[in-house]
Amino acid sequence: MLPKQYPIKVEGRIYWDLVFFYNNKGNSGTITHEIETEIIKSYNVKTFREDISKVTRNELEKIGVEAEASASYGPVSAKIAASYENSKEINDLFETTTRTEKETDTVTKTTIRKKFEVGPESQLSLYQKCFSSPGIQVKFETLTTDVELGKEVIKVPIDVVVQPIEYIQDIQVIFGSSVTDAPDDRVRDITKNSDDVNWFGDGAYYAWLVPVYTSDPDKAATAFNVAIEGTPREGNRDLAKGSPRAHRYLDPEHDTRNPQKIGELALYRCTNIPGFPVPDQTKSLGYEGSTKNINEGRQIMMFDLELFLIWKPKRAF
How confident is the model over 121-142, as pLDDT tens digits?
899 999 999 999 999 999 999 9
96 and 218 both lie in a single domain: no
* CATH number, domain containing residue 280: 2.100.10
174 and 258 both lie in a single domain: yes
Run of H or E residues at 58: helix 45-62
Per-residue confidence (pLDDT) for residue 17, from 0 to 100: 96
Q: What is the pLDDT of residues 20-69, one digit of tens each?
A: 999 999 888 898 988 889 999 999 999 999 999 888 888 777 766 665 65
Residue 205 sits in which domain range? 167-315
Helix (H, G, I), strand (E, B) or coil at 281: coil
8: left (phi over 0), alpha (psi -120 to 50) or beta: beta
155 and 175 both lie in a single domain: no
| Structural domain contains residue 83 | yes
146 and 188 both lie in a single domain: no
224 or 178, which is more confident?
224
Contacts of 246 (CB under 8 A, 6+ apart): 228, 229, 230, 240, 297
Q: How many structural domains is the chain composed of?
A: 2
109 and 19 both lie in a single domain: yes
Last residue of a domain, one of 164, 195, 222: 164
| Structural domain contains residue 1 | no
Q: What is the pLDDT of residues 226-244, one digit of tens each?
A: 999 988 888 878 998 888 8
Q: What's the CA gap between 5 and 83, in Å, rounded? A: 25
212 and 310 both lie in a single domain: yes
116 and 11 both lie in a single domain: yes
Q: What's the CA gap between 25 and 121, in Å, rounded? A: 4
Q: What are phi and psi of 263, to 5 degrees?
A: -110, -20
184 and 291 both lie in a single domain: yes
Per-residue confidence (pLDDT) for residue 95, from 0 to 100: 95
How does residue 303 score in pLDDT terms, banded at 50, 70 and 90?
low
209 and 271 both lie in a single domain: yes
Per-residue confidence (pLDDT) for residue 276, from 0 to 100: 44
Average pLDDT of the chain is: 88
73 and 172 both lie in a single domain: no
- With beta carbons less than 8 A apart as the criterion, state whether 253 and 295 touch: no
180 and 292 both lie in a single domain: yes
Q: What is the pLDDT of residues 246-297, one digit of tens each?
A: 899 999 999 999 999 999 999 998 876 554 444 456 777 889 999 999 988 8
